[in-house]
């Protein structure tokens, strides 16, 4: 006999996480016990039916609409689903994914489109389909449960829960046979011995609540630089010195981790760390995770050398990577980083930007092949015959440049383009001038783009998320500050105007989602944190005070509706939300940094801009309360570590006033100075940093640190030499 306890959980889209639940062993033992005490030979008791239809047809989420014609009677997440489950006394199936998720599509095709599977689900369960991007709060709760049960999680995320929403069992991708067997056995237990499921639910609920608890740290001693050194040493033990990144697969870019390493390496003058960051950035941009034809990065690589991704392109990855490469350019002055930023933003403009200035969410991994069947990567890869035909006489050089050989071979005799060396190294070996190579590469890209234009395009998730838009808004500002391209600032301002006009509610709060002219879903902490951060950055780059004032308003709203006085941290959901078994609190940094860590930075910077010491003290308290977690596993708290450097190293305030203030500010932006804020004005300004510092026809620069300001100077170089680290 086979039981639920022995099901093989295979996860293609997964990440490994720490197991923090102290009674994990008891949960697993209970699951094994309840499953293994149930014989498959025992007949099922009389079925309870509760008829309803697939309600996803009324949703706007592209992911939910992908399932709108399944024979499964799906409901969207909400109180209606819980009410139906409780009235019918059925267990809930909560299935979570997103539009660009390859393995979500695989399971949908194998199971959710199958009438036999659908009948089993419809007869014995109330089935709820959730777009994790629309409801990250729901995803966090049930992801925690699955990670506690299995030690890892990912998508598709599939959970069975009691009618009140408390989870009892779950995993990620299941084959049709595994899925049916599990559901049959759990339904049988529910019919014959429901108390066992209630016992499991209670223990899991306790674990999830315990995970959210942050014990206040009464230690008020200053932060220690040893915390940073320990984190760097931890990295050195786990890094891949050949290809960059962590020495494991799958390989996620983790751009905010490298932002911390970049900053720590720079401020501590640690050349070894800086070299490692440069290696990682080079290998990522040369690999197949970066689209060598159309630009833009895929979500992650399935191999060590960054070659084969799952091909989906997410807005947030590309936003964070644009910011990373823009900052890295300031230190390394690597021209290829400028190209990466240009090409990635060109991809965003072409594929993910609406005419109203909003950014779409993602592009699918799958597209139709020549047979009309959905196939992963079909849009992106090439056969050798195609390349020979379209590249023509340059093919011998092209195949060496992009490794049309065993190194670049993927599967089914198809190649995904990857570079093994920099252009500078390539021209030495193949005796070609750099301008000639760049011109040829440009022509090759255009030819391959033309091939793709005749292929079916991957599906687009065209919903707009406030949080992800804010990340891309911030990326455009970072690119503008580094490369001083006016078009980047124009796009950033257009997006900011869109968000401020459409995503702010009548009470001053934020909506999370926007699609087809409709704003919806109560905003989460990530929406506030990332938009506040982006508006502060946009103010610094443009000098337009309106953006800083709006950031202050949103910050005040966040403190009123998300702040927890006991922990000194912020809940992920608005205080009015009560449809989950507990109120989640996000503190772990992942591919996207945690919303609490970003709020700590926002409070710190706004405190300095507005001379509000209480905000700085709140930021300090947040860091103190996370300090023990940072020391336990630095890889999960890199954005917090970035914040810690604000207190461990000098942090500068730069004020510039006068008719040439704009130009002076942009001279400073060319330098990598992560430990500063900057304010400039061409006219008198009441902002605390600028107040009473304007002198007609004179441009002065003021440098302050630790509430002490030096005498004003007139040259940027006088400021830079006092701040810039010598490497």
All residues at 6 or more sequence positions from 208 whose CB lies less than 8 Å from its CB, including other chains: 141, 144, 145, 148, 581, 582
**Domain ranges in the chain with CATH number 1.50.10.20:** 225-366+461-648
**pLDDT higher than 80, residue 50:** no
Q: Are 135 and 142 in contact (CB under 8 A)?
A: no
* Banded pLDDT at 8 (limits 50, 70, 90): very low
All residues at 6 or more sequence positions from 605 whose CB lies less than 8 Å from its CB, including other chains: 536, 677
Residue 119 or residue 216, greater confidence: 119
pLDDT digits (tens, 9 = 90+) for 475-511: 999 999 999 999 999 999 999 999 999 999 999 999 9
What does the pLDDT read at residue 52? 53
**pLDDT higher than 80, residue 86:** yes
Burial category of 394 from C-beta neighbours within 10 Å (exposed 0-12, middle 13-18, buried 19 and up): middle
Given CATH 3.40.50.720, say whether it is the number of domain 4-212. no
% of the chain beyond a pLDDT of 70: 92
What does the pLDDT read at residue 241? 95
* Banded pLDDT at 27 (limits 50, 70, 90): very low
Report the C-alpha gap between 675 and 647 in whole angstroms: 10
Q: State the CB neighbour count (10 A cutoff) for residue 381.
A: 21
* Banded pLDDT at 174 (limits 50, 70, 90): very high
What does the pLDDT read at residue 26? 39
What does the pLDDT read at residue 493? 98
Q: Are 86 and 163 in contact (CB under 8 A)?
A: yes
Please state at what angle helix 486-502 crosses helix 335-351, rounded to 10 degrees.
Answer: 40
Instruction: Quote the strand ranges of 457-540, DSSP E.
Output: 460-461, 464-465, 511-515, 518-522
pLDDT digits (tens, 9 = 90+) for 575-586: 998 888 889 999
**pLDDT higher than 60, residue 20:** no
* Banded pLDDT at 35 (limits 50, 70, 90): very low
- CA distances to 213, 228, 515 from 206, rounded to whole Å, are 11, 33, 37
Edge-first strand order for the sheet with 708-709 is 676-681, 652-657, 700-705, 708-709
Report the C-alpha gap between 509 and 105 in whole angstroms: 35
What does the pLDDT read at residue 725? 86
pLDDT digits (tens, 9 = 90+) for 296-319: 999 999 999 999 998 999 999 999
Between strands 125-131 and 91-97, the pairing is parallel
**pLDDT higher than 60, residue 46:** no
DSSP 8-state secondary structure symbol assigned to residue 109: I
Q: Please, what is the average pLDDT of the chain?
A: 90
Q: What burial letters (b/e) apply to 41-62, b meaning 16+ CB within 10 Å? A: eeeeeeeeebeeebbbeebbbb
pLDDT digits (tens, 9 = 90+) for 228-280: 999 999 888 999 999 999 999 999 999 999 999 999 999 999 999 999 999 99
Report the C-alpha gap between 690 and 392 in whole angstroms: 61
Cis peptide before 30 (omega within 30 of 0): no
What does the pLDDT read at residue 635? 82
- Tokens encoding 11: 């996860």
Backbone angles phi, psi at 539, to 5 degrees: -60, -45
pLDDT digits (tens, 9 = 90+) for 379-393: 999 999 999 999 999
In what helix (H) or strand (E) does residue 415 lie, and over which residues does it extend? Answer: strand 414-415
Backbone angles phi, psi at 98, to 5 degrees: -155, 165
DSSP 8-state secondary structure symbol assigned to residue 632: H
**pLDDT higher than 80, residue 18:** no
In what helix (H) or strand (E) does residue 703 lie, and over which residues does it extend? Answer: strand 700-705
401: alpha, beta or left, given left = phi > 0 and alpha = psi -120 to 50? alpha
Residue 439 or residue 26, greater confidence: 439
- Tokens encoding 441: 């590469």
* Banded pLDDT at 32 (limits 50, 70, 90): very low
309: alpha, beta or left, given left = phi > 0 and alpha = psi -120 to 50? beta
What does the pLDDT read at residue 223? 80
Of the listed ranges 8-12, 177-181, 297-301, 604-608, the least confidently predicted one is 8-12
**Domain ranges in the chain with CATH number 3.40.30.10:** 4-212
Please state at what angle helix 255-267 crosses helix 225-238, rounded to 10 degrees.
Answer: 120
What does the pLDDT read at residue 43? 34
Given CATH 1.50.10.20, say whether it is the number of domain 225-366+461-648. yes
What does the pLDDT read at residue 221? 62
pLDDT mean over 208-214 = 82
Q: What share of the chain is helix, strand, coil (3-state, %, to 5)?
A: 50, 15, 35
pLDDT mean over 178-191 = 95
- Tokens encoding 474: 């911030």
In what helix (H) or strand (E) does residue 92 lie, and over which residues does it extend? Answer: strand 91-97
**pLDDT higher than 90, residue 4:** no
pLDDT digits (tens, 9 = 90+) for 518-569: 999 999 999 999 999 999 999 999 999 999 999 999 999 999 999 999 899 9
DSSP 8-state secondary structure symbol assigned to residue 5: G
What does the pLDDT read at residue 586? 93
pTM of the model: 0.91
């Amino acid at each position: 006999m086979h039981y639920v306890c022995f099901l093989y959980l295979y996860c293609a889209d997964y990440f490994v996480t720490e197991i923090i639940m102290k009674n994990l062993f008891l949960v697993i033992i209970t699951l094994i016990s309840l499953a293994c005490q149930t014989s498959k030979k025992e007949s099922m008791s009389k079925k309870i039916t509760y008829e309803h239809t697939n309600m996803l047809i009324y949703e706007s989420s592209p992911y939910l609409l992908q399932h709108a014609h399944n024979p499964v009677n799906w409901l969207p997440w909400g109180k209606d689903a819980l009410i139906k489950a409780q009235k019918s006394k059925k267990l809930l199936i909560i299935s979570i994914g997103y539009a660009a998720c390859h393995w979500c599509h695989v399971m949908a095709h194998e199971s959710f489109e199958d009438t036999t599977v659908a009948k089993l689900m419809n007869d014995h369960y109330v089935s709820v389909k959730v777009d994790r991007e629309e409801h990250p709060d729901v995803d966090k709760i049930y992801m925690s449960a699955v990670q506690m049960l299995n030690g890892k999680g990912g998508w598709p995320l599939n959970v069975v829960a009691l009618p009140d929403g408390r989870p009892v069992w779950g995993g990620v991708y299941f084959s049709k046979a595994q899925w049916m067997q599990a559901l049959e056995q759990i339904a049988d237990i529910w019919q014959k011995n429901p108390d066992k499921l209630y016992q499991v639910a209670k223990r899991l609920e306790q674990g999830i609540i315990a995970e959210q608890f942050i014990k206040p740290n009464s230690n008020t001693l200053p932060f220690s630089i040893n915390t940073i050194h320990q984190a760097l040493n931890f990295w050195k033990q786990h890094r891949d010195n050949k290809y960059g990144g962590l020495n494991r697969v799958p390989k996620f870019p983790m751009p905010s981790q490298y932002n911390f390493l970049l900053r720590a390496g720079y401020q501590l003058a640690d050349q070894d760390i800086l070299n490692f960051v440069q290696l990682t950035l080079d290998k990522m941009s040369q690999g197949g995770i970066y689209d060598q034809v159309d630009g833009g990065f895929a979500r992650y690589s399935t191999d060590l050398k960054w070659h084969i991704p799952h091909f989906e392109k997410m807005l947030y990855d590309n936003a964070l990577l644009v910011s990373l490469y823009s900052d890295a350019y300031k230190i390394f002055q690597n021209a290829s980083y400028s190209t990466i930023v240009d090409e990635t933003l060109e991809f965003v403009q072409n594929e993910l930007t609406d005419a109203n200035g909003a950014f779409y969410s993602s592009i699918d991994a799958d597209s139709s092949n020549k047979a009309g069947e959905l196939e992963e990567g079909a849009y992106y890869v090439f056969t050798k015959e195609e390349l020979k035909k379209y590249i023509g006489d340059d093919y011998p050089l092209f195949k060496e440049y992009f490794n049309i050989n065993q190194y670049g071979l993927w599967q089914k005799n198809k190649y995904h383009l990857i570079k093994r060396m920099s252009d500078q190294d390539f021209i030495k070996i193949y005796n070609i001038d750099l301008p000639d190579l760049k011109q040829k590469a440009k022509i090759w890209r255009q030819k391959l783009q033309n091939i793709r234009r005749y292929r079916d395009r991957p599906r687009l998730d065209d919903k707009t998320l406030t949080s992800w838009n804010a990340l891309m808004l911030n990326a455009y500002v970072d690119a503008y500050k580094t490369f001083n391209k006016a078009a980047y600032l124009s796009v950033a301002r257009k997006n900011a105007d869109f968000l401020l006009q459409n995503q702010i509610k009548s009470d001053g709060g934020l909506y999370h989602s926007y699609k087809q002219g409709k704003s919806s879903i109560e905003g989460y902490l990530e929406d506030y944190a990332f938009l506040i951060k982006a508006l502060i950055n946009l103010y610094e780059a443009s000098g337009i005070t309106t953006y800083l004032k709006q950031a202050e308003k949103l910050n005040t709203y966040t403190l009123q509706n998300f702040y927890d006085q006991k922990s000194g941290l912020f809940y992920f959901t608005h205080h009015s939300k009560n449809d989950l078994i507990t109120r989640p609190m996000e503190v772990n940094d992942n591919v996207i940094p945690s919303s609490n860590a970003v709020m700590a930075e926002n409070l710190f910077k706004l405190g300095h801009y507005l001379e509000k010491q209480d905000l700085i003290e709140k930021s300090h308290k947040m860091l103190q309360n996370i300090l023990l977690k940072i020391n336990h596993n630095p890889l999960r708290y890199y954005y917090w570590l970035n914040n810690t450097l604000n207190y461990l190293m000098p942090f500068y305030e730069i004020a510039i006033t006068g008719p040439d203030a704009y130009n002076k500010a942009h001279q400073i932006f060319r330098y990598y100075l992560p430990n500063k804020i900057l304010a400039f004005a061409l006219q008198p300004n009441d902002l605390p940093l600028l107040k009473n510092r304007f002198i007609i026809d004179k441009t002065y620069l003021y440098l302050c640190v630790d509430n002490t300001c030096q005498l004003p100077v007139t040259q940027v170089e006088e400021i830079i030499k006092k701040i810039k680290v010598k490497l």
